[in-house]
Amino acid sequence: MKKRYIPITITTAVLAVIAFVGYLRPETRPTVPVRILFDNSSNRVVFSHLLHNRAGKVQCLECHHHNQGTASDPIACELCHPAAFDENYVQNHPEYFENQIACLQCHHMEFEELLFDHDAHAEAVEDCTDCHHGPDREPEPQRCRSCHPAASDKNILSLQDATHDCCKQCHDEKFADGPTGCFFCHSEKDLKAIEPSYPDCRKCHPAEDYKDLIPEKTIAFHKRCMNCHRQNNKGPCEEDECFRCHFK
């Protein structure tokens, strides 16, 4: 073999080896389950994940709307939308997520100091009894926390409930818009700057409001699936078509 053909032969051999290895190596693609079985209070549902993702051309983020995983490994729906917000979920759900950023999707705020100017309020009201109890309960106005405990009981409101009721009622009467959210009176703590140690949701949100904050699995799927079907005029989207997804 002439020397001038040696480089060509070596290059061809290397390319052949690379092509062969590439042929044997399996194609890397997102892990998409073919079907998912949802067992919920309204009987079982078989969800064709593959049909929606590939045949329906539904992009991952259209359903995994607050995804913090990678494109090939999105967060499963039930990690954020459990079948029930019971004690088991409250205790164990931090183990379901990989990083602190995911926590901030739900644990959205924690408050620091109260933004309350007592002198400014004293000038705005007609009498101290607009906020404080009258002499029938206390001869001189006292600090609210002197009597109101951290938690309510059947005899007295908690400090939070008492001040919220009093402040909101006064602001509703004196201002057209009333209080405009928590930041009207509270400063926000930067949760990204602290170690993951977030307050229980129930500290501010009653348990009966959880479905409005983060819908349970059935509610979340109904809302997102039905809206998508109605917008695209495809699939079951009417109240009498439950049987097309649910079976016993």
H helix runs in 25-103, sequence order: 49-50, 60-63, 77-80, 87-92, 100-103
The fold of 111-188 is: Cytochrome C3 (3.90.10)
What are the start and end residues of each CATH 3.90.10.10 domain in the chain? 111-188
Question: Of the CATH numbers 3.30.70, 3.90.10, 3.40.1360, 3.40.50, which one belongs to the domain with range 36-108+192-247?
Answer: 3.90.10
Please write the tens of the pLDDT for every residue from 169-211: 888 887 777 666 677 788 777 666 655 556 667 666 766 666 6
Please write the tens of the pLDDT for every residue from 86-96: 788 878 887 87
pTM higher than 0.75, yes or no?
no
Residue 117 is predicted with a pLDDT of 86
Q: Are 49 and 41 in contact (CB under 8 A)?
A: no
